[in-house]
Amino acid sequence: MTLIDLKTKKDYLSDTVKKMKPSGIRRFFDLASQMDNVISLGVGEPDFVTPWHVIEASFHSLEKGYTAYTANAGLLALREEISGYLENNFNVKYDPEEEVIVTVGASQAIDIALRAIINPGDEVIVVEPCFVSYAPSVELAGGVPVSVHTKSEDHFKLKPEQLERAITSKTKAVIFCNPNNPTGTALTEQELAAVAEIIEKHDLILLSDEIYAELTFDHKPVSLTSLSSMQERTILISGFSKAFAMTGWRLGYVAGPKDIIKGMLKIHQYTIMCAPTMAQYGALEALQNGRENVRHMVQSYRQRRHFIVDSLNEIGLDCYLPGGAFYAFPSIKSTGLTSEEFAEKLLLAEGVAVVPGNVFGESGEGHVRCSYATSIEQLQEAVTRMDRFMKSL
């Protein structure tokens, strides 16, 4: 044994990383992966395979030798399609050359957006329950996440007065997802306009995560960017994972004001270079010729939504009808169990994996997230097992 082995091992991790908790979702996925005959309602991805014409376009790009880097911001042809898609579907117009970046998933877009705008100590309001990466991403960028807890009695809809109460002199931005993961809540244009008014009043930046926008069931999708003068202060984040069934392709995009996008591109250049070329050609095909595929998937999710919500209510788990995404967020408070206790006991007793609501923030406690992005047959079996579990309690 050498002298260096006898010394106390040096701690090389940063204080920020040491304080950061691992993803609460992964713990249940890891536990479920060690069991047989598990039905997972936990995974936040479509059960559809990426449409063949998209896969084929990616193959053809390789056959044609398109294996080099693209421009840092992505293929101009893809950025032009993204710009056209946003204008046609959400009535917002972006310059594809200076206001759009193709990213490695929407998650990278969130990361570089926060790093581009945050100074140490800046506060970022995080509307909860929310995607698990928001608060850690704020912390990694040097900011301070400030939680706003939406309420189950409001179906987890953000109220403007809640948002305003959380704003201080240090508040720099708000990060907000609509439709929401994990609750499935989708705000109407009128409700979004009330939120936009507060953001404009206090001169804040909005990170608008619209990855589930296509999966809006009860009204036409609305982008916060399209309201009033919000485009000049909004960083719009989206991608191809959810609506286009391309989760493993890891391709997203961000659109926003020219000066912010220019700053984000500098970070993107140094950390990523560019998104994978073959994936970009697949996304180009998806936008050009994939609208019918999206409509088919949305219709299927709409049918499954009604089935799972009706079934959950029938077995004694109170659940409102979500307006978007592919998640139901039933209350399990009647069982007397915490979210984690319920999820773990259900998994071990009946082999059904759900995600405890508290991993999405304090206001998610007392609920679990159930993804209905799986076949009706699997959903039927999952509900049968959950019913048996509820009766056993």
> Would you say residue 351 has pLDDT above 60?
yes
For the packed helices 277-289 and 76-90, what is the interaxial angle rounded to 10 degrees? 40
Asked whether residue 195 falls in the same domain as residue 104, the answer is: yes
| Residue 158 included in any domain | yes
Bridge partner list, 371: 327
Question: Please, which residues bridge with residue 127 across strands?
Answer: 148
Q: How many CB atoms lie within 10 A of CB 186?
A: 25
What is the CB neighbour count within 10 angstroms for residue 19? 10
Is residue 336 domain-shared with residue 284, that is, in the same domain? no
C-alpha closest to that of 343 among 24, 2, 95, 107: 24
Running DSSP on this structure, what letter comes out for residue 249?
G
List of E strands, the chain = 39-40, 100-103, 123-128, 144-149, 171-177, 205-209, 234-239, 252-255, 327-328, 352-353, 355-356, 368-371
Contact 132, 360 (CB under 8 A): yes
Query: Binning pLDDT at 50, 70 and 90, where does residue 146 land?
Result: very high
**Mean pLDDT for the stretch of residues 54-71:** 97
Residue 38: CB atoms within 10 A of its CB come to: 16
Q: Please identify, among 249, 271, 289, the residue that sits at the C-terminal boundary of a domain.
A: 289
Per-residue pLDDT, 7: 54
Q: Is residue 1 part of a domain?
A: no
Same domain, 323 and 240: no
Q: Tell me the pLDDT tens digit for each residue of 219-228.
A: 999 999 999 8
With a cut of 90, say whether residue 79 has pLDDT above it: yes
Which of 289, 308, 334 is the C-terminal boundary of a domain? 289
Are 241 and 297 in a shared domain? no
pLDDT at position 8 is: 60
Residue 7 lies in a domain: no
Instruction: Give mean pLDDT, residues 383-391.
Output: 98
Q: CA angle at residue 358 from 136 to 206, to 5 degrees?
A: 45
Are 169 and 45 members of one domain?
Answer: no
Q: Is residue 209 part of a domain?
A: yes
Burial of 190 (0-12, 13-18, 19+ CB in 10 A): exposed
- Both 200 and 95 in one domain: the answer is yes
pLDDT for residue 6 is more than 80: no
Given a cut of 90, whether residue 372 has pLDDT beyond it is yes
- The answer to whether residue 301 is domain-embedded is yes
Q: Is the pLDDT of residue 26 over 80?
A: no
* β-strand pairing of 144-149 with 100-103: unpaired
> Is 10 part of any domain?
no
pTM of the model as a whole: 0.93
Please indicate, yes or no, if residue 11 is contained in any of the structural domains: no
Residues 339 and 265 in one domain: no
Residues in contact with 157: Cβ distance below 8 Å, sequence separation at least 6, in sequence order: 150, 185, 187, 191
Looking at the 3D structure of the chain, how many domains does it have?
2
Task: Say whether both 79 and 225 belong to one domain.
Answer: yes
User: 27: pLDDT confidence band, cut at 50, 70 and 90?
Assistant: confident
The alpha-helical segments, DSSP class H, found in 231-289 are 258-271, 277-289
Under 8 Å between Cβ of 105 and 272: no
Task: Quote the CA–CA distance of 61 and 58 in Å, as a whole number.
Answer: 5
Please state, in angstroms and rounded to a whole number, the distance separating the CA atoms of residues 245 and 125.
Answer: 30
In this structure, the answer to whether residues 39 and 155 fall within a common structural domain is: no
**Residue 15 covered by a domain:** no
DSSP assignments along 302-332, one per residue:
HHHHHHHHHHHHHTT-------BTTEE--B-
For the chain, the first-to-last Cα distance in angstroms comes to 56
58 and 93: one domain?
Answer: yes
Q: 114 pLDDT exceeds 80?
A: yes
- Check: CB of residue 262 under 8 Å from CB of residue 298: no
pLDDT value at residue 5:
53
What CATH number is associated with residue 99?
Answer: 3.40.640.10
State mean pLDDT over 355-384. Answer: 96
35: CATH: 3.90.1150.10
Which among 227, 260, 289 is the end of a domain? Answer: 289
Q: Are residues 165 and 33 in the same domain?
A: no
Regarding whether 80 and 34 lie in a shared domain, the answer is: no
Convert the pLDDT of each residue in 32-41 to its tens digit: 778 889 999 9
Burial class (CB in 10 A: 0-12, 13-18, 19+), 64: exposed
Residue 3 has pLDDT above 50, yes or no: no
**Domain range enclosing 364:** 21-49+292-392
- For the stretch 270-310, pLDDT in tens is 999 999 999 999 999 999 999 999 999 999 999 999 999 99
Average pLDDT over residues 121-149: 97
Q: How far apart are CA 158 and CA 146, in angstroms?
A: 14
Question: How far apart (Å, rounded) are the C-alpha atoms in residues 118 and 121?
Answer: 8
Report residue 22's pLDDT band, with 50, 70 and 90 as the boundaries. Answer: confident
